A and B are shown apart, each in its own frame.
Chain A
Amino acid sequence: GAGVSQSPRYKVAKRGQDVALRCDPISGHVSLFWYQQALGQGPEFLTYFQNEAQLDKSGLPSDRFFAERPEGSVSTLKIQRTQQEDSAVYLCASSLATRVDEQFFGPGTRLTVL
């Protein structure tokens, strides 16, 4: 498949658990974004990578949220000590360096915190 893939597609966590969400971008895409989408809302920016460098993490809602992309390809969004308000769809998107805004989105991971 040539698209952005995310795993797992669905995740149910008990409050207080840690979760890790994975994103496989399109091969060759330098830019990678994470968004959070609450029900009935548009995606909200969380963080942005260019290769392995995290250039913008201003959208991360708290220090419980952490993202990494150690080899400039696969990225992981980690949420520690999950809270109910973390329940949302987490979207990953990737793009070429020359067309950063033409982002290709993955199907998302739906996180439900009980």
Chain B
Amino acid sequence: AQSVAQPEDQVNVAEGNPLTVKCTYSVSGNPYLFWYVQYPNRGLQFLLKYITGDNLVKGSYGFEAEFNKSQTSFHLKKPSALVSDSALYFCAVRALYSGAGSYQLTFGKGTKLSVIP
């Protein structure tokens, strides 16, 4: 079974400061890892993914995430937060194996990010 933990329900950060949203995962074998974002009154949007290669992945809107295999973590980061980054962020994982069920994403509970002006 695969699982995702987002230990913080809410993260508050001042505009212009760096932000980190934490995610740890559990999966059999090598993972595919993802971040999705949900803005108020809008559907979830894909932000970035890690499949293989460089442990630092860059995505949309200046976000990046660092894959750490030894700590089974995939934290989302941004060097300078904007008020418009305020949203609900979801980390997701799936195992890298073939088969009909291989596209089943498992999401975390989500972390609400509030960027304070």
Contact = CB atoms under 8 A, between A and B. Distances in A.
B63 interface: no
A43 B90 CA distance: 9
Interface string B80-104: 0000000000101010000011011
A108 B43 contact: yes
B45 A105 contact: yes
Contacts, number: 62
Contacts of B42: 107
Given A43-B105, A58-B101, A104-B43, 5 more contacts: A33-B105, A43-B44, A43-B90, A91-B43, A104-B46
Interface string B31-43: 0101010000111
Interface of B: 4, 32, 34, 36, 41-46, 49, 90, 92, 94, 100-101, 103-110
Q: Tell me the dominant secondary structure on chain B's binding face.
A: strand
30 contacts: A3-B43, A4-B43, A31-B103, A33-B103, A40-B109, A41-B109, A42-B90, A42-B92, A42-B107, A42-B108, A43-B105, A44-B107, A45-B104, A45-B105, A48-B104, A56-B100, A56-B103, A58-B101, A59-B104, A91-B43, A100-B103, A101-B32, A101-B46, A101-B94, A102-B46, A103-B44, A104-B43, A105-B43, A107-B41, A108-B43
Contacts of B44: 43, 91, 93, 103, 105
Q: Tell me the dominant secondary structure on chain A's binding face.
A: loop
A2 interface: no
A106 interface: yes
